Structure 1
Amino acid sequence: MKKALVLILAMPLFLVACLSSNQHNLQSWAFDVVTWNHEVYKITNEAVTEIDGEIGTIKKHSTNESSDLPNLFSNKYKKGTKLFKIKNVETNNYIAVQDDSIYYKAEKMEGMKTAAD
């Protein structure tokens, strides 16, 4: 009986300890990003229909939050996702990210750069 009582009381403590120890693996980004040409772009929900041409491909994907972002990176899109120039729009303002058959506008974030290669 004593062993069962100790086990019942110890189980919640064990579960809380396990959950707490894995908490550092849970990452939370403020928004979805892609990087291109050593700049950071915030992905919007705005669809783009006029595409000018492909400008790059995502080379690295990670959900681990970091301040040192590599070039051609995304925290949302997988490796191989294509990036495009938007027709009649400068890439130093916006680019597009292909998600299946939809292209989403990504806005350059002023003051943010990727890590040095």
Structure 2
Amino acid sequence: MFLRLKYNFICIVTAIVFISGCSNSNPLDNSSADWAYNFVVWDGYIYQLTDEYVESVDEEIGEVTKYSDMEGTYSGNFSNKYEKGTKYYAIQGINTDEAIAIEDEGKYKKAIRDGKYGEK
């Protein structure tokens, strides 16, 4: 009788450990944002955000038209960091093929072009 209870206990504990090991580490975390970095998309190209701010910007060149923190492929000037309506600017002395500036709380954060959007 004792061996049977011990066997049942071991089976139950093993099953619990196995099942809990197959689940998310935090079952309340429903976020699926798995991008490697924050970015914006402008004119079909992805621009990786940097920690660098720029002092001088030229004209406004666009704005975020779609925001989502859920990984996927989206159309338009998309961002996984900035809300819809956030403005994009050309940077004085830098071609937009290289970098653009993103309005960030009254400052302008530099974003480096990282290739065509959706090709990685």
TM tier, shorter chain? 0.7 to 0.9
Distance 2:118 2:33 in 1: 19
After superposition, residues 95-106 of structure 1 pair within 5 angstroms as: 95-106=100-111
Deviation string 1:47-97 (CA, Å, 9 cap, x unpaired) is 00110110001010000012x232211000000100000001100110000
1:26 maps to 32
Higher-Rg structure is 2
CA apart distance, 1:114: 4.7
Name stretches of at least 5 consecutive residues in structure 2 with no aligned partner.
1-15
Name stretches of at least 5 consecutive residues in structure 1 with no aligned partner.
1-12
CA apart distance, 1:24: 5.5
2:90 maps to 85
1:65 maps to 71
Distance 1:61 1:32 in 2: 12
TM-score (norm 2): 0.71
Identity fraction in percent: 33
Contact 1:41 1:106 in 2 (8 A): yes
Which amino acid in 1 is paired with 2:117? K
TM-score (norm 1): 0.73
